[in-house]
Amino acid sequence: MVGCPALREFVHSGAEGVADVLWLLMGEFEEVVALMGAPIVAGFERSGVVLPTGARFFP
């Protein structure tokens, strides 16, 4: 899920574009974890993930 946007940015803007994509994704992930009430990533638990009916989670 990270490879395609990173590759597009690499073709378009080089290494700086890839770094921008990774910073953006990291910021979004940190925001999601914070909204779940976990002060650090280690506090992220399966109980915070809601799957549609019939979906299965494979760790």
Q: Are 44 and 52 in contact (CB under 8 A)?
A: no
Domain count within the chain: 1
What pLDDT is recorded for position 19? 93
Residue at 47 is within a domain = no
Residue at 9 is within a domain = yes
Let me know the angle formed at the C-alpha of 15 by 11 and 21, rounded to the nearest 5 degrees. 85
Token representation of residue 30: 């940190």
Residuewise pLDDT in 10s, the chain (59 residues): 788 888 998 999 999 999 999 999 989 888 888 888 877 777 777 777 778 888 877 76
Residue at 58 is within a domain = no
Residue at 40 is within a domain = no
Q: Are 44 and 36 in contact (CB under 8 A)?
A: yes
Is pTM beyond 0.85? Reply is: no
What pLDDT is recorded for position 16? 92
What pLDDT is recorded for position 12? 92
